[in-house]
Structure formats: structure tokens, C-alpha cells
């Protein structure tokens, strides 16, 4: 989800900018002012309670605001994200918004404040008054709305300054320039939201080729630790030489070597929408390492797949692969295949069990033809993009 609050005095251009943003980022628009005007026009009890206050340019009670916002959020909880205009308008409403976001299992990504001077705000509102037809667009009420803004709404900024997600935009610039600045801010926010996926499955289940195909389809970076170690050997780097020695003596490559390689990959990947991990984490220790590593980059595992294929079919596939160029060193004899399957049972299955307690692990039937399995996983991934916190 992408949740943004547009902030600024009346007349800052929040409505104008919203029109563009909701289209571009497919967000659900919530303007408390607009919702109140609808209640008023429909003559509801809520509308009648708010009528006098709106007409005098005062702020409607937080109780009324909670009711209209909660109703709108609840009926649109499957949205890509929300764009709030004119909310939060009091310090209390900032807490309310936090609570509403928790309910959605999400958070507010940023409060974007369109900053304009008070004189400019009055000038724009008086100009708008000529055509808006709004009963609160006249000088006396405008002055009162600005007073309310100064006294009750401006302190909201401190809430977000303390939280670290307040971003200011110069609203005195021409409209297209303000739009451009906001677009830049949102694109930066989006680039930090990574869809990280872990692919589990026995050797031969297809997790490698599926992972690669998915990475290409969704602009994700494919992180296959086995391949990374091989690449290091090929490069002949110092680490590569160490890995070769370990391989030759039949030892496992320790985490101290694997982890920096993964971290380097994460750090150096620009413009990716997330990572797909294959062959990692393989042990419980590595699962804690991955959580810690992603947390360091303000991210988390968003989706876990377990590709299930019946054991006999796995052996059939691995045996077939052993006769092709794609053969892995562990495919070369029945004994090796069994050993590798056993290792997966002993070390990796407990990792999957651990994740089942904390994450939503999606089991995918890996038996159907490749494209069908790919299609089934793709549907899940598309839903996950929507649910990114």
C-alpha cells in the first residue's frame, strides 16, 4: 500500500494535486471536506451536526471525522493505497490516522506539506470563491479557516517531524512544478518499498527456473546463493579462491562468506522492485540473518512460496536433468540425489516450519506444466505488490 497525506492551508492546491496523484498512483481519494459536504447535501444527521461549524470556518469535531473516515476506509480496504486531503487537521487526528493505519496493517508513508504564505492562500481562496459555489469561500469565513489552520492544524506538522515522515514542497511554484516535486517524492518512497520473496522447494521442484522467470517478469533481482558462489570462483577473487578450497575439501561455505556477498548484491542493486531469494535461507541461523539483513535496509520478507512436488516426480526430474547440460554436481548419481533431498528435509524444512509461524507461506503445486505454475505464482505476486506495507 501507498498511503499519503497532503497537508497545507486552505488554497494550497491540495485538491488540484490530488486529481493527478490518484490517477498516476491508483490511490483512493479521501477528502474529509468533500465527504462532509456530501453528508450535508444528503441532509444526514452527521451533515446537520457539522453544518454550522463548516459555515463558520471552524473545525468539525474529531468524533464526526472518525466516523466518516472509518466508514470510507472500511469499504475500500482493498485499495492500492489512500490519499488523504484535509486530514489529519488536528494533533488528535494524527493519532487517529495512526490507529486507522494499524487496522489496515499498514502505515502512512509520508505527510507531504504544500507550503504557501497566508497572503497567497487568501488571494487564491478569494479567487476560487467567484466560481466554487462553496458557502465557506467568503472573506470572513476564509480568515476564520486560516486562524483555525494556524492554531489547530499547523501543530500536526510537529507530529510528523518527530516521526520523520514530514516532507515539504514549495507550493508557491507553478502547479506543474509542484506536481513534479510531489511525483519525485512519491517515486523515492516507492523505490524503498521492496517486494522480497523467498522461494522454497526441494531440488528439482523448479524454484530456480520459476524464480528467474518471475524476477524478469516483475523487475526483481534474483539472488541465488549457489550461482553467486560459482561466479566468485570464476572471477578468481580472494573470496573465490577460499570458496574453491572449501568445495574441493567437500566443506560447506560458511555464512561469513555467503552473507557479505548477499549484502553486496542488495546494496548494489539499483531500481529494483525487490529481491527473490533462492537457496537462501537454508538453515534456521540464515533465516535470522536474512531478517536482520533486510531490516537493516528498512525492508522485510513480503512473500514466501513453497513449491511442492511429489518425491517420485522429483527423482524423475533430477535424473532427467543429470543427463543434460543443466546437470548440477549433486545430480550425478542416485546416491547424491538422495543425499541432497535428505539435506533439504533435515535443514530447510525446519526453516519453512519456522516461517509458517510468522509469515504467510503460500504452498504452490509444482506438478503442472511450467507456465501454469508460473501463472499461479504471478497472481499471488501481483496481490502482494498491492499489500506492501
Binding footprint of ligand AMP, residue count (CB under 6 A): 17
Candidate list 28, 82, 87, 277; residue touching ligand AMP; CB under 6 A:
87
In terms of CB distance, is 86 or 211 closer to ligand AMP? 86
Nearest residue (CB) to ligand AMP, 93 versus 286: 93
**Closest to 371 (Cα-Cα) out of 198, 209, 208:** 209
In degrees and rounded to multiples of 5, residue 252 shows phi and psi of: -75, 150
- Select from 41-49, 54-62, 263-271, 368-376 the region that touches ligand AMP (CB under 6 A): 54-62
23 catalytic per annotation: no
Tell me which stretch binds ligand AMP (CB under 6 A): 59-67, 197-205, 252-260, 373-381. 59-67
Between CA 363 and CA 308 the distance in angstroms is 7
| Residue 94 binds ligand AMP, judged by CB under 6 A | no
What number of other Cβ atoms are within 10 A of residue 219's Cβ? 11
* Secondary structure (DSSP) of 48-91: HHHHHHHHHT-PPPHHHHHHHHHHHHHHTTTSS-EEEES---SH
Q: In the complex with ligand AMP, which residue's Cβ is closer, 30 or 307?
A: 30
Query: At a CB cut-off of 8 Å and minimum separation 6, what does 201 contact?
Result: 207, 305, 306, 307, 308, 309, 366
Using CB under 6 A as the binding rule, whether residue 65 contacts ligand AMP is answered as yes
Is 273 one of the catalytic residues?
no
32 binds ligand AMP, rule: CB under 6 A? yes
Q: Which of 28, 30, 68, 89 binds ligand AMP (CB under 6 A)?
A: 89
Distance CA 208, CA 224 (A): 8
**Looking only at residues 110 through 149 of this chain, which bind ligand AMP when binding is defined by CB under 6 A?**
136, 145
List all residues 6 or more positions away from 235 whose beta carbon is below 8 Å from its beta carbon.
none
Cβ atoms within 10 Å of 207's Cβ, excluding its own:
25
Contact predicate 54/1, CB 8 Å: no
Is residue 59 within the footprint of ligand AMP (CB under 6 A)? yes
* Per-residue cell: 374: 508460473
CB of 225 to ligand AMP, least distance (A): 50
Reply yes or no on whether 145 is catalytic: yes
Q: 2 with 27: CB under 8 angstroms?
A: yes
Q: Which residue minimizes CB distance to ligand AMP?
A: 33
Q: CB–CB of 265/228 below 8 Å? A: yes
CA distance 120 to 98: 31
Per rule CB under 6 A, is residue 9 in the interface with ligand AMP?
no
Report, in Å, the least distance between residue 81 CB and ligand AMP.
Answer: 19
Q: Per CB under 6 A, which region of 81-89, 171-179, 299-307, 315-323 contacts ligand AMP?
A: 81-89
Between 57 and 281, name the residue whose CB sits nearer to ligand AMP. 57
- Cβ atoms of 85 and 12 within 8 Å: the answer is no
- Among the listed residues 37, 51, 134, 244, the single catalytic one is 134
Q: State the nearest-atom distance from the C-beta of 83 to ligand AMP, in Å.
A: 13
Task: Name every residue whose Cβ is closer than 8 Å to that of residue 382 and which is 6 or more positions away in sequence.
Answer: none
CB of 1 to ligand AMP, least distance (A): 21
14 in active site: yes
Rule CB under 6 A: which of 270-289 touch ligand AMP?
none
Best CA proximity match to 142, nearest among 51, 10, 6, 12: 10
Candidate residues 86, 171, 279, 366; the one interacting with ligand AMP per rule CB under 6 A: 86
Distance of closest approach, residue 60 Cβ to ligand AMP, in angstroms: 4
Contacts with 267 (C-beta within 8 Å, 6 or more apart), sequence order: none
Which of 54, 108 has the CB closer to ligand AMP? 54
**Among 10, 171, 204, 279, which residue interacts with ligand AMP (rule: CB under 6 A)?**
10
Which 8-state DSSP code applies to residue 330? Answer: G
| Catalytic position from the list 38, 128, 336, 347 | 128
Q: How distant, in Å, are the alpha carbons of 45, 152, 153, 262, 298 from that of 93?
A: 21, 11, 10, 42, 26
Q: Which residues bind ligand AMP (CB under 6 A)?
A: 10, 32-33, 36, 53-54, 57-60, 65, 86-87, 89, 93, 136, 145
The residues annotated as belonging to the active site are 14, 89, 128, 134, 145
Amino acid at each position: 500500500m501507498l498511503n499519503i497525506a497532503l497537508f497545507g492551508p486552505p488554497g494550497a492546491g491540495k485538491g488540484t494535486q490530488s486529481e493527478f496523484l490518484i490517477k498516476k498512483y491508483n490511490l483512493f481519494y479521501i477528502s474529509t471536506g468533500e465527504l462532509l459536504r456530501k453528508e450535508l447535501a444528503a441532509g444526514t444527521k452527521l451533515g446537520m451536526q457539522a453544518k454550522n461549524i463548516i459555515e463558520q470556518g471552524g473545525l468539525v469535531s474529531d468524533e464526526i471525522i472518525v466516523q466518516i473516515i472509518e466508514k470510507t476506509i472500511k469499504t475500500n480496504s482493498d485499495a492500492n493505497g489512500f490519499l488523504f486531503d484535509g486530514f489529519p487537521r488536528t494533533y488528535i487526528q494524527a493519532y487517529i490516522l495512526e490507529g486507522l493505519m494499524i487496522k489496515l496493517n499498514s502505515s502512512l508513508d509520508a505527510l507531504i506539506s504544500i507550503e504557501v504564505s497566508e497572503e497567497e492562500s487568501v488571494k487564491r481562496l478569494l479567487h476560487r470563491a467567484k466560481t466554487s459555489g462553496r458557502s465557506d469561500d467568503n472573506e470572513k469565513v476564509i480568515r476564520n479557516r486560516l486562524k483555525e489552520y494556524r492554531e489547530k492544524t499547523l501543530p500536526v506538522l510537529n507530529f510528523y517531524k518527530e516521526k520523520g515522515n514530514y516532507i515539504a514542497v514549495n507550493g508557491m511554484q507553478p502547479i506543474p512544478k509542484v506536481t513534479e516535486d510531489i511525483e519525485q517524492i512519491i517515486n523515492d518512497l516507492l523505490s524503498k518499498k521492496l517486494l522480497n520473496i523467498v522461494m522454497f522447494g526441494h531440488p528439482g521442484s523448479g524454484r530456480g527456473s520459476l524464480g528467474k522467470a518471475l524476477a524478469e517478469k516483475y523487475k526483481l533481482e534474483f539472488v541465488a546463493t549457489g550461482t553467486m558462489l560459482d561466479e566468485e570462483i570464476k572471477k578468481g577473487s580472494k573470496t573465490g579462491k577460499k570458496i574453491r578450497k572449501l568445495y574441493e575439501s567437500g566443506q560447506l561455505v560458511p555464512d561469513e562468506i555467503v552473507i557479505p556477498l548477499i549484502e553486496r548484491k542488495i546494496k548494489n542493486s539499483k531500481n529494483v522492485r525487490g529481491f527473490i531469494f533462492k537457496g537462501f535461507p537454508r538453515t534456521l541461523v540464515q533465516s535470522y540473518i536474512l531478517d536482520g539483513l533486510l531490516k537493516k535496509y528498512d525492508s522485510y520478507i513480503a512473500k514466501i512460496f513453497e513449491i511442492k512436488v511429489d518425491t517420485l516426480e522429483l527423482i524423475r526430474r533430477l535424473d532427467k536433468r543429470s543427463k543434460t547440460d543443466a546437470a548440477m554436481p549433486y545430480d550425478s548419481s542416485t546416491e547424491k540425489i538422495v543425499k541432497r533431498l535428505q539435506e533439504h528435509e533435515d535443514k530447510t524444512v525446519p526453516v519453512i516450519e519456522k516461517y509458517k509461524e510468522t509469515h504467510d507461506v503460500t504452498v504452490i503445486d509444482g506438478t503442472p506444466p511450467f507456465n501454469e505454475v508460473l501463472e499461479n505464482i504471478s497472481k499471488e505476486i501481483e496481490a502482494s505488490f498491492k499489500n506492501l506495507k
